[in-house]
Amino acid sequence: MVISPDMEMAWERYLPTDRLRWTRCRNSCPIWPSDPDLTIIKKLAASLLTETPGLPDLSSLQVKFLADGARHKVYELSHPSAYIPYLFRVAIPLDPYYKMESEMATLAAIRRYTSIPVPRPISWSSSADNELGYEWCLVERVPGVELREVWRKMPWDKKLEVVDQMAEFMVQLWGPALRFSKIGSVYFDRPGGNKLGEHSRETEGHFTTIAAASQWGFNIGPSVDQAFFSDRRRYLDQDRGPYKTFHDYAKALVHVEMEYFKTARTLVMSKPEITNAYPDDDWDSIAMYDIGLDEDDLEEYDDIMAMFQAYIDLLPTVFPEKEEEGPDMARFSLHHCDLRYTNVIVDPETYKVTGIIDWEQSITVPEWYTRDYPDFLQGDDPYDGDGHRTPDTYDSDDERYNAVVVDNRDRWDERLLRARFDKKMEELGWKDWKRYSYEDKAKSSFLQGLSDMADVGRAKFHLEQARQLLASTTQAKENSGREESGHDVDDDVQGGCSPKVASEDKPSGSGSDSAIAADDQDLDNGKDDGGRSEVLEKAIAKADGSGSF
């Protein structure tokens, strides 16, 4: 294979020598260039806490490593004479400036306009150009434990209370106070006309305090979505917004994914130069962890590019360039992309929700995209009507443990809790909160296929599903028009039926499509009511009370 001079130069752009490295293992983690200096953290924290009542001797301040995640190192602050309710977080440079700046602004906006309990930001530096050498933030410590730690032992009535609280929070998150006119992420509207990405120097020590930021407004800027900065994507030319329409956002997603595969091909074709530049690195590891594509994958390269073109051709139909707009231009809601058990903090005694954490990749999106149950309530329906059977044990090390029984009971409980969530939303005035049309399902299928582009079979399946859903939309509208004009509609073509996708068209190993399949079943069964067994119906009615069976 002939390598052109342009290609020979290009690979360094897409695989820079100063890039962030990752461990070569299944659960890959970023490799920190250096460990944050505890002495500097203590110095910074002490300077930030000078106004804190009850801390007369900050020389006694102690800093202790608490946790290490994929994006941060977290340090606990303590003092012998007082409790310090703050954590010091140091960020690895995954998405310099934007991720830190947007997260702090998002937390501040939520605290200003809602009663949703989120950590209070105190001070932060959105630039690594400081004494520590990393971006950092000092945030309020949310009291409590992860919901995951106590979920199994919580009484049923307490689980219902948690679900009610989450519904109340979602109503606020999706409400008019946090509506925006563009798709992107939330940032502070800093004074002086500073452009996003130009680090502010107006404060001493190159950091921002919440006291100063409390006087600022908010605006929408570039999207802090990992689709734009994960793996090598941060080195690609891309449009991160903000976007006026979802058409523009989806177009940017298609572009960055297409560039990811094109540049991967360039890198694989530059194997001799890369192996020469990194003699200590194994090529297979470079291909897997740094490039994401190897020589074998190139055999499907033309098919992948053809599939991208098919998605590009369908994009204007799924996401029209000119969207319908109402009188209120603020039509995009803030979206938390990861409401799992681990990001919901509760009091270990009362089980009241004390905080929602991990807002660092929040973006503003349309209603159809964001309105869904919290992640910990999502799941498939029970296998059968015996889902209320209580497992002998939830301890996987116990010989009595039965994974099937546990999974079925979890599915049963999740279905009951989703019904409770629906009921609470209706009480709050959001009866039709989760409207999910054929068009919405087509949009979701399109986006899912785009993220699965490395598997041409799966990408093709989602593309065909999107097409069929759009066809069903057209058919349903035609049927509606015929009914209004007095014409008969064939019994086998109903606006409320889900389109059937031939099972042989579905690629093997696509168990992750269960959510789409479940939504199809919901439409087939009249959404929430028609698909329940009599046993489940009675259980839902009963669960609104004590939850005992």
pLDDT bracket for residue 505 (50, 70, 90): very low
How high does pLDDT run on average in the chain? 83
Instruction: Write down the pLDDT at residue 196.
Output: 52
Kindly report the backbone phi and psi dihedral angles of residue 110, in degrees, each rounded to the nearest multiple of 5, phi listed first. Answer: -65, -40
In terms of pLDDT, which residue wins out, 390 or 457? 457
Q: What is the pLDDT of residue 326?
A: 53
Give the integer Cα–Cα distance in Å for 430 and 457: 39
Mean pLDDT, residues 155-173: 97
Highest-pLDDT range among 69-73, 166-170, 199-203, 378-382: 166-170
Q: What would the pLDDT profile of 210-252 be if each residue is shown by its tens digit?
A: 999 999 999 999 999 999 998 889 899 899 999 999 999 999 9
Whose tokens are 């759009």? That residue is: 470
CA separation for the pair 90, 134 (Å, rounded): 7
Least confident of 26-30, 428-432, 515-519: 515-519
The pLDDT confidence band at residue 479, using thresholds 50, 70 and 90, is: low
CA 185 to chain centre: 13
- pTM assigned to the model: 0.83
Can you tell me the mean pLDDT for 303-327? 88
User: pLDDT for 362-393, tens place per residue?
Assistant: 999 999 999 999 999 998 888 776 657 888 88
234-243, 320-329, 456-465: least confidently modelled range: 320-329
Position 346 scores a pLDDT of: 98
Q: How many CB atoms lie within 10 A of CB 533?
A: 14
Mean pLDDT of 130-140: 95
**pLDDT at residue 520 is higher than 90:** no
What pLDDT does residue 386 have?
61
pLDDT value, residue 532: 42
24-38, 157-171, 334-348, 535-549 — which is least confidently predicted? 535-549
Q: Which of 80, 89, 38 is nearest to 55 (CA)?
A: 80
pLDDT (0 to 100) of residue 482:
54
Cα dihedral 412/414/415/418 (nearest 10): 160
From CA 235, how far away is CA 357, in angstroms rounded? 28
Pick the range with the lowest mean pLDDT from 186-195, 257-266, 391-400. 186-195
Is residue 306 over pLDDT 90? yes
Domains of the chain and CATH, by start: 5-26+246-318 (no CATH), 38-227 (3.30.200.20), 437-526 (no CATH)
Residue 204 has pLDDT above 60, yes or no: no
Per-residue pLDDT averaged across 508-520, rounded?
Answer: 36
pLDDT at 54: 64
Q: From start to end of 79-231, where are the E strands?
A: 86-91, 121-125, 135-140, 145-146, 179-180, 185-189, 208-209, 217-221
Round to whole Å and give the CA distance between 431 and 414. 19
Question: Which residue has better confidence, 85 or 531?
Answer: 85
pLDDT band at 72 (very low <50, low <70, confident <90, very high): very high
Q: Are strands 72-78 and 363-365 parallel, antiparallel or unpaired?
A: unpaired
Q: Are 76 and 66 in contact (CB under 8 A)?
A: yes
- Cα-Cα-Cα-Cα dihedral sign, residues 501, 503, 509, 513: positive
pLDDT of 536 reads 45
Q: Are 360 and 103 in contact (CB under 8 A)?
A: yes
Q: Give per-residue pLDDT as tens, 31-49.
A: 899 999 999 999 999 988 8
Q: In Å, what is the CA distance from 309 to each residue of 94, 287, 314, 395, 520?
A: 30, 25, 9, 49, 27
**How far from 201 is each of 34, 100, 272, CA to CA, in Å?**
25, 16, 44
Residue in the block written with tokens 């002939």:
2
Residue 412 has pLDDT above 70, yes or no: yes
Please enumerate, as own/partner, the contacts of 495-504 that have beta carbons within 8 Å and a separation of 24 or more.
Answer: 496/523, 496/526, 497/472, 497/523, 497/524, 498/472, 498/523, 498/524, 499/438, 499/465, 499/468, 499/469, 499/471, 499/472, 501/461, 501/464, 501/465, 501/468
